[in-house]
Structure 1
């Protein structure tokens, strides 16, 4: 398989701006001519191996910053949007999409916003019974999607909040008893803490300054909820400053993002960056051992592994996904080249769907995406236990994976043969290029179809090559 050339002009300009260097000074430090640097910054030439080496040696740059990031996410999102039936003409070639994402990311995001607005208006027209007679039917972006995209394009890593949480956790001492530290801090602030039966997980009354956490919740959940409330009470200035920079379009989106940032602080305090990264490497990313060591849930540990993208101290690039029993993606993040569909469910060939059939077990699977990249994927079922008799149990499955070159660093690769079968998976049937997939639900909208009423194979049509 041919190596894909690296075009990273936007990232090079960002690095030069961050270092406050002129093009001439930057070119001298990289050992290239000024015209050559100009061509690389404008994506007229790929970034050479010598330049990548110079970036690492001269500036200590983590070169993975150049390879995975916003550009790949934009390409995947544009491909999915262009697979919409509203685009009747042939989709632009992949090379054009990569150029747009690299050279004009603002334009690519504007296109995605426009398509999202179209989808929302189309969905509203399909439910006129809700819209007729209302005065507030003006088209606005979905607050939930806006916040999801904010974290998605930040690599799900918020540096200032992450470091603040790590600083808080470090003050807990060598025993890392963040629960006791949080309780003491709340007490000093005049807030009384109680554990009692609740219809939910947590309730805080600002007038009486009384915080109540469900006594029925699991230990990891109680710790997380306590740290969440602590984030709102002690990190409000930092969170508000982060929200100001994000510039959300509606108050609802800002409010949802505030909850997301408080959740981020809680997770980062429960699993502080450097201590967690060191433990992950020591245990070879054993989810069960990490959960036991830090008093967290399997899902919390898996999600945290996918956020270890601090510049200069990155962990293995993981993807993380959570699906419900209908196959709908409820959480998604990827620091790898694999990107998830924005709409709909995950590929049915993933073992994440089989995890519901084997609760309590970790499933392992080698997979290959249509671009030829291979991954090790781990999946397991996670349940949110019922809080009372006859109360519903919420069931999910989570998937965690990395590119196969990192597989040896995971305990889950032991006993697996990387020369064996790789399951051919895709992102979404609408944009998947595989012509002979036995689980295909809809035709790929980027390809022409041939219909022959005299033959029937796996599908009632043929996908033209």
Structure 2
């Protein structure tokens, strides 16, 4: 079997920049010539075995990161952006997009930022919100999307925050519940914690130094909200330092990201990296067992599984999404090659949509994307009661999955015939960029294909694809 060559020029340049080394010094430490390093950094040559060993021995670099870059995400995001009708003519070839993602990732991100700015401005005009006459009509990405992309391109793993949360969890007293540890930590800062009736799940009064957690929230939610407040109170410097590195374009994005990082801390403290990774492997990633062991909800457990990407101690690369009843993706992350649509809903053939029809059940699916990649997919509804008869119920479904080569490590994949081609459901990312010709659930034609309409023939679709 042929060995796949490794091109990782962008990663090499990024590492050299972090070390503040010139090309000459970097080449010397790796034991290669300056021209050879230059060719590797520009992807004119693959990274040699001696260089891989040198990176590990000289700098302690986790060489698995050389293959864990953002290329797949950037290519997927650019394909989706280029499917926008604003781009006329033929779309760039897939090979060109891959070259841009691997050789010029900063340029690819700038293109995506520009397209996101265009979409936001277009949507403002379409909704007649008088954006052109307002002071806030700047061409900038949505703060929410900017923060979502920050976590997306960090592999949903923030090392400094994760390790700080792990240290917090390790400092608990023997047999002390995590909620009690959080209350004790807040009390040490003269903050009183109350469980009572509230119109909010969590409400903190800085003047009175009183934190109120809703009694109607589930126990796992109560603990999570206590830990989130601990992060905001005790981890301010760490959160600010992380936010400074992110360089968000607006105060709104920074504020959203601050809460997002506090949420990250809460999840990482509730399910500390080392113990949680060991438990996940021991239980074969049984969400219910993990939820019981760590006092977490199913959604919290599934989300945490998707963050286990610590260099040198990585878990299975999972994708994780949450969708609402309209099919809109409200949370998304993928450490796999599977990427999700940045705009609109997910593929209707994906089992996550069926979870609403079968509440309380885990749904299993073997799926194949148009590029031939195969995945094991797990879906479950996670509806959340409002706590009273007249209170609205929030209805969501979560999807968790991995490449099928990891499926044997999941208890849910037992007795599934992963070797049968007919067992795989054909799913896509977005109808606009999906090239399947015979999909009976297609909503719009792919923009990269010519349509042919025959008035005397009607198949599954009212048109044929050339």
TM-score band w.r.t. shorter chain: over 0.9
Matched ranges for 1:16-415 at <5 A: 16-18=16-18, 23=23, 34-47=34-47, 52=52, 55=55, 61-128=61-128, 130-131=130-131, 134-173=134-173, 175=175, 177-415=177-415
Q: 1:176/1:377 Cα in 2 relative to 1: closer, same or farther (>3 Å)?
A: farther
1:19 deviates by 5.4
Looking at structure 2, the residues matched to 168 and 176 of structure 1 have their Cα atoms a distance apart, in angstroms, of 13
With the length of structure 2 as denominator, give the TM-score of the two structures.
0.94
Partner Cα separation in structure 2 for residue 11 and residue 132 of structure 1? 41
Going from structure 1 to structure 2, the CA distance change for 1:419 and 1:159 (only over 3 Å counts) comes to same
- Give the deviation of 1:244 after TM superposition: 1.3
**How many matched pairs?**
464
Aligned equivalent of 1:435, options 434, 437, 442: 437
Extract unaligned runs of 5+ from structure 2: none
Displacement of 1:136:
3.7
Q: Is contact 1:248–1:254 with CA below 8 Å preserved after alignment? A: yes
Per-residue CA deviation, residues 78-136 of structure 1 (Å, 9 max, x unaligned), is 11110000111110001111111111111111111111111112112212254475444
Going from structure 1 to structure 2, the CA distance change for 1:2 and 1:364 (only over 3 Å counts) comes to: farther
Match of 1:459 in 2: 461
Residues 68 and 443 of structure 1, relative CA distance in 2, 3 Å threshold = farther
Q: Do 2:11 and 2:69's aligned partners in 1 also have CA atoms closer than 8 Å?
A: no
SS of residue paired to 2:378 = strand
Q: Structure 1's 433 and 192: CA in aligned 2 closer, same or farther, altered over 3 A?
A: same
Distance 1:133 1:39 in 2: 50
* Counterparts of 2:176 and 2:447, CA distance in 1: 52
Q: Give the alignment's TM-score, normalised by structure 1.
A: 0.94
The CA distance in 2 between the partners of 1:293 and 1:126, in whole Å, is 49
| Aligned-CA RMSD value | 2.2
Q: Confirm or deny: 8 A CA contact 1:68 1:336 kept in the other structure.
A: no
Post-superposition Cα deviations, 1:199-249, rounded to whole Å, max 9, x if no partner, equal 120111111101110011101000000011111110111111111111111
The answer on whether the counterparts of 2:318 and 2:401 sit within 8 Å (CA) in structure 1 is yes
Instruction: Find the aligned partners of 2:406 and 2:315 in 1 and give their Cα distance.
Output: 11
Distance 1:443 1:215 in 2: 49
Following superposition, the deviation at residue 52 of structure 1 comes to 4.9
Q: How far did residue 64 of structure 1 move?
A: 3.4
In structure 1, how many angstroms separate the alpha carbons of the residues matched to 2:439 and 2:84? Answer: 21
Cα 1:350/1:280, change in 2 over 3 Å: same
Distance in 2 between residues matched to 1:55 and 1:375, nearest whole Å? 32
